[in-house]
Amino acid sequence: MVDLNRMTREFLLGESVKPSMESYVQSVLETLNAIMPGSQRDKRRVEVAKSNLREVRRQCRKMQEQIRVLEEQVNILEENKES
């Protein structure tokens, strides 16, 4: 049986859509930018965290590109298999 209440809730509230990895990275970056470090040591820690986050973002973009290429390859293989 179809749960119309669940379907409506997911549609209206966007519960079925999970945030992307890029959204999570952006959220963490905004949080780091909002931090006001009290000492030089804390300031350096925040800068290191931002640098690490930039690297995570770069790696995330590379992974997404690889996933896109692999999905295209799978589609091509499936098309060749059907014909």
> Which amino acid does the sequence have at 55?
E
**CB-CB neighbours of 24 under 10 Å:** 13
Per-residue pLDDT of the chain (83 residues; tens, 9 = 90+): 677 777 777 777 765 667 788 888 999 999 999 999 999 999 999 999 999 999 999 999 999 999 999 999 999 999 998 87
pLDDT of 58 reads 95
- Per DSSP, the three-state class of 63 is helix
Among 29, 35, 24, which residue's Cα sits nearest to residue 51? Answer: 29
* Structural domain spans, the chain: 21-82
d(CA 78, CA 83): 9
